[in-house]
Amino acid sequence: MSLSSQPDPAKLAAARAAVALVEDGMKLGLGTGSTASVMVRELAARAAADGLKLRCAATSQATAELAESLGLNVEPLDQIGWLDLTIDGADEVDPDLHLIKGGGGAHLREKIVAAASDRMVVIADPGKVVDRLGAFPLPVEVLQFGFETTRTLIRRALQAQDLGGHDVMQRLKGSDPWVTDEGNVILDLHLEAIPDAVALARALSAIPGVVEHGLFLGMCDLAIIGKSDGTVVELDRDEGIDADLLAGEGD
């Protein structure tokens, strides 16, 4: 493996720390995204080395294909039942361990899998830790039917939240609409900062045509933040984020 293909040290450190939590016989949820893919590779290596018998539910077709190619046992979520642990990445993590997810377009399945787990562990690098959610565009998965009507209703909801005037952009893949594994499309809300994430989540969920949004509130139990020197900081939901522990780490 060339130096350029080596995983980012912070992501690798976080992934390894999360994989260390896995025990033989566990039923696991596997996240989606660049950090989650590092975790899947580390998980497969540990499972092979230690002879772990695991049952895994993937949050996207891409993750399923990667996990299966590495020898992990991937099954439909309903076939497995309730999960012991889900390990996933995040686009933003705030001091209460609220998250924005969906940069990879898989937040619908990610939220279902996380909700079906006893514990959700998020892995990230320090650049994902923020004082307030919203700098990362908030993904909202919507039906293709009535797309423009749904976008209008979202803009009205933002206006009611004092977030009017911000871009509500359809996500593209090249020149074509980004289509999710469930056949839906995504609107990215460029909000800069979200003053009340709970109220916004409630307003978005109430809109017909909105399938799911990328606000994960009260779902993450532990965030493992990898640092560039290979160490990690573990942030428990009840303890919050100690900014001093992440001092000197940037995007």
Convert the pLDDT of each residue in 144-195 to its tens digit.
Answer: 999 999 999 999 999 999 999 999 999 999 999 999 999 999 999 999 999 9
pLDDT tops 80 at residue 97: yes
- Give the per-residue pLDDT at 50: 98
* 239 located within any domain: no
Task: Calculate what percentage of the chain has a pLDDT beyond 70.
Answer: 93
Instruction: Kindly state the average pLDDT of the residues 111-140.
Output: 97
CATH number for position 191: 3.30.70.260
pLDDT tops 80 at residue 142: yes
Judge if 165 and 189 occupy the same domain: yes
Judge if 8 and 116 occupy the same domain: yes
Window from 4-8, 86-90, 120-124 with minimum mean pLDDT: 4-8
The boundaries of the domain holding residue 13 are 3-126+218-229
Q: How many CB atoms lie within 10 A of CB 190?
A: 13
Instruction: Kindly state the average pLDDT of the residues 13-26.
Output: 98
Q: Residue 7: which pLDDT band, with cuts at 50, 70 and 90?
A: confident
- Give the per-residue pLDDT at 1: 40
Q: Residue 241: which pLDDT band, with cuts at 50, 70 and 90?
A: low
Q: Where does 180-238 have alpha helices with state H?
A: 197-205
- Residue 114's nearest CA partner among 101, 132, 127 is 101
- Give the per-residue pLDDT at 133: 98
Judge if 9 and 109 occupy the same domain: yes
Question: Are the C-beta atoms of 46 and 56 separated by less than 8 Å?
Answer: no
Torsional sign, CA 131, 134, 139, 140? positive
pLDDT tops 80 at residue 5: no
Torsional sign, CA 176, 181, 185, 188? negative
Judge if 118 and 12 occupy the same domain: yes
Judge if 194 and 89 occupy the same domain: no
* 16 located within any domain: yes
- Give the per-residue pLDDT at 244: 58
- Residue 40's nearest CA partner among 78, 69, 8 is 69
Judge if 121 and 8 occupy the same domain: yes
- Residue 99's nearest CA partner among 201, 27, 170 is 201
Q: How far apart, in whole angstroms, are the C-alpha atoms of residue 108 and residue 106? A: 6
pLDDT tops 80 at residue 238: no
pLDDT tops 80 at residue 204: yes
Judge if 17 and 87 occupy the same domain: yes
* 240 located within any domain: no
CATH number for position 39: 3.40.50.1360
110 labelled catalytic: yes
Judge if 26 and 120 occupy the same domain: yes
- Give the per-residue pLDDT at 243: 56
**What separation in angstroms does the CA of 135 have from each of 33, 191, 199?**
18, 7, 17
Among residues 23, 42, 65, 110, the one annotated as catalytic is 110
| Residues flagged as binding site for substrate | 32-35, 88-91, 101-104, 128
Judge if 76 and 168 occupy the same domain: no
Amino acid at 170: Q
- Residue 86's nearest CA partner among 66, 104, 112, 105 is 112
Judge if 142 and 224 occupy the same domain: no
Judge if 120 and 159 occupy the same domain: no
Task: Calculate what percentage of the chain has a pLDDT beyond 90.
Answer: 91
Q: Per the structure, how many domains does the chain have?
A: 2
* 86 located within any domain: yes
Judge if 191 and 224 occupy the same domain: no
| Residues flagged as binding site | 32-35, 88-91, 101-104, 128
- Give the per-residue pLDDT at 240: 60
